[in-house]
């Protein structure tokens, strides 16, 4: 299993717009093969700090995800709404 | 549900020792009430970067966890084996 964490910062005035994009992205992504979980988390002490927490069955499933229409569209829309950090890819060791 | 992420850096020569402490901590913690998941992840591009990824049913369950003997002992042992970042506490919004 592959864990992917993508942190991002959203300005308060753009949060609702960003959440609308995420809502659609998440709904479509959860239907994809190999998607174990795909959740948007908010840092409790700083609501503008979001974290996309993803679990994928394999790298191949993750690669396929990044080629989907809904992912590409969402990334384009989010680019102007948030500042995202690079994706961090983890594997579970214990 | 509460998501807790604790990042830490372990020097290569101390990794086996740290993993032994984590193994015990994880085995005990997974038995605790309210513990939904408790996993140790490793950053794929940098094996010395670990991430403890936790999910708890409530803050009360998380608080109880931090008072357990196995947690207190593990934190004492890990203090000399790793450099840990502050715990980040998230709530799931989507």
Compute the mean pLDDT over every residue in chain B, rounded to the nearest whole number. 96
What is the pLDDT confidence band of residue B93, given thresholds at 50, 70 and 90? very high
Selecting from B19, B53, B92 the residue whose C-beta is nearest the C-beta of A3 gives B53
**pLDDT higher for A45 or A57?**
A57
The ipTM value here is 0.91
Answer whether B92 sits within 8 Å of A26, measured CB to CB: no
Cβ–Cβ < 8 Å for A2, A90:
yes
How many structural domains compose chain B? 1
Chain A segment 30-49 residues within 8 A of B by beta carbon are 39-45
> Is the Cβ of B21 closer than 8 Å to some Cβ of chain A?
no
User: Using one digit for the tens of pLDDT, what is the confidence trace for A15-50?
Assistant: 999 999 999 999 999 999 999 999 999 999 898 999
User: Using one digit for the tens of pLDDT, what is the confidence trace for B4-23?
Assistant: 999 999 999 999 999 999 99
Is residue A93 within a helix (H) or strand (E), and if so which, with residue range? none
Domain range spanning residue A54?
Answer: 2-91
What is the pLDDT confidence band of residue B24, given thresholds at 50, 70 and 90? very high
> How far is residue A93 from each of residues A3, B20, B43, B53, measured CA to CA in Å?
11, 12, 10, 11
CATH at A63: 3.30.70.100
């Amino acid at each position: 299993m592959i864990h992917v964490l993508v942190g991002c910062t959203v300005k308060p005035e753009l949060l609702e717009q960003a959440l609308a994009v995420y809502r659609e992205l998440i709904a479509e992504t959860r239907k994809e093969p190999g998607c174990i979980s795909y959740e948007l988390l908010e840092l409790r002490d700083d609501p503008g700090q979001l974290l996309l927490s993803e679990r994928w069955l394999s790298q191949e499933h993750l690669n396929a995800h990044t080629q989907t229409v809904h992912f590409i569209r969402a990334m384009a829309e989010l680019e102007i709404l948030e500042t995202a950090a690079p994706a961090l890819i983890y594997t579970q060791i214990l």
